[in-house]
Amino acid sequence: MNHSNHCEELATRIQIADERYRAGLPTGYSNEEFDDLKESLRKTDPEHPLFKSPGGGSNLLSLGNESFEEWYYKLPSNTPLVVQPKIDGVAIALRYVDGLLVKAWNRKGADKTYCMRMIKNIPSCIATDGIVEIRGELFGVHRSPESSQRLAAGHLRKKAPTGEGLIFCAFEIMRSKKEGREVFHEYFEGHEEIFYLEEWGFLTPPNDALYEDVFMKVKDLFNKWEDSLLFAHFPTDGIVAKVTDRCLKENLGESSVAPNWAIAIKQWKRVY
């Protein structure tokens, strides 16, 4: 086993054991054995993200908002896209370990697990094992975008939150890991990730998949959104266009603030 794989296997074992402990479940290790695991990882890779991440998980990046035309024509010719609503609420990540919800955090990395357990439409367990991290948006039902965002942010600040008037919409599996190895491709071979999220019991956003005449169809969808004919039952401040091809997404990667494979469209700008 090479150095990198060894570190990731150690990190996964530590993460699963730690969060099973916090959830009141058996970890499979004594305190001494768990401390030995952490010390072994620290000696092997003292700068490992496990020792740094405030939320204990993947970062929640923002979406770029450059001109859609400029962004799209950087992609390979005729790249298919999916269009979803840009829901105005608060971005939240959830982590499941061996199927159990063990942690939630916001974009700043602050732990919001207790608050998110109050949201009734979030499954407390899902049919999977290993580590799965899911990104979505907490938002207010039947609210304006501004009111939705205020309600969600207020809920996350409360000492005794109830979750009243709020629901969670899941739209991305950020990470899926078993026994120290990433299994992202296993989840999505022949399937869209949205199908897995729905199968696990999550509310998911509507998706408009575009395969031909993509640029003009995105423009048409944006015009419909502006006229309140698209995604009207969500509090939105725009639409989101995403690359769906997994290999292309990995090749495009991300910057320190935003993924390069998705863009928020809040107004239609043309580049001349």
Q: Residue 235 has which token pair?
A: 């509090």
C-alpha distances out from residue 14 to 17, 116, 131, 202, Å: 5, 23, 12, 27
The pLDDT assigned to 178 comes to 65
Residues 92-104 have a mean pLDDT of 92
Q: Residue 75 has which token pair?
A: 């992609």
Measured distance CA(8)–CA(18) in Å, rounded: 15
Specify the DSSP element, H or E, that contains 85: strand 81-87
Return the amino acid letter for 45.
Answer: D
Q: Is pLDDT above 70 for 80?
A: yes
Q: Is pLDDT above 90 for 39?
A: no
Question: Are 129 and 26 members of one domain?
Answer: no
Question: Are 119 and 248 members of one domain?
Answer: yes
The total number of structural domains that make up the chain: 2
Residue 213 in any domain: the answer is: yes
Question: Are 198 and 255 members of one domain?
Answer: yes
Residue 272 in any domain: the answer is: no
pLDDT tens across 218-256, in order?
Answer: 999 999 999 999 999 999 999 999 998 888 988 998 887
Mean pLDDT of the chain: 85
Question: Are 11 and 77 members of one domain?
Answer: no
Q: What CATH number is attached to the domain comprising 234?
A: 3.30.470.30
Measured distance CA(185)–CA(169) in Å, rounded: 23
φ/ψ (deg, to 5) at 45: -145, 80
Residue with the bigger pLDDT between 104 and 180: it is: 104
Q: Is pLDDT above 50 for 62?
A: yes
Q: Is pLDDT above 50 for 187?
A: no
Place 257 in a pLDDT band, splitting at 50, 70 and 90: confident
pLDDT tens across 148-178, in order?
Answer: 999 999 999 998 999 999 999 999 988 776 6
pTM: 0.78
Question: Are 76 and 9 members of one domain?
Answer: no
Looking at residue 49, what DSSP letter applies?
G
| Among 97, 233, 246, 103, residue whose Cα is nearest residue 186 | 246
pLDDT tens across 3-38, in order?
Answer: 667 777 787 788 777 766 655 567 788 877 877 888
Q: Is pLDDT above 70 for 134?
A: yes
Residue with the bigger pLDDT between 2 and 59: it is: 59
Question: Are 241 and 109 members of one domain?
Answer: yes
Measured distance CA(231)–CA(167) in Å, rounded: 16
The pLDDT assigned to 190 comes to 41
Residues 105-117 have a mean pLDDT of 91
Specify the DSSP element, H or E, that contains 229: none
The pLDDT assigned to 224 comes to 96
Question: Are 46 and 115 members of one domain?
Answer: no
The pLDDT assigned to 54 comes to 45
Place 65 in a pLDDT band, splitting at 50, 70 and 90: confident
Place 115 in a pLDDT band, splitting at 50, 70 and 90: very high
Question: Are 119 and 151 members of one domain?
Answer: yes
φ/ψ (deg, to 5) at 149: -65, -40
pLDDT tens across 81-91, in order?
Answer: 999 999 999 99
Q: Is there a contact between 164 and 197 (Cβ–Cβ < 8 Å)?
A: no
Question: Are 28 and 93 members of one domain?
Answer: no
Measured distance CA(51)–CA(59) in Å, rounded: 14
Residue 59 in any domain: the answer is: no
Q: Is there a contact between 95 and 19 (Cβ–Cβ < 8 Å)?
A: yes
Question: Are 44 and 88 members of one domain?
Answer: no
Question: Are 16 and 115 members of one domain?
Answer: no
Residue 62 in any domain: the answer is: no
Return the amino acid letter for 270.
Answer: R
The pLDDT assigned to 74 comes to 92
Measured distance CA(159)–CA(253) in Å, rounded: 38
Residue 61 in any domain: the answer is: no
Whole domain around residue 19: which residue ranges?
3-51
- Provide, rounded to the nearest whole percent, the portion of the chain with pLDDT above 90: 53
Question: Are 126 and 164 members of one domain?
Answer: yes
Q: What burial class does residue 30 get, using C-beta atoms within 10 Å of its C-beta: 0-12 exposed, 13-18 middle, 19+ buried?
A: exposed
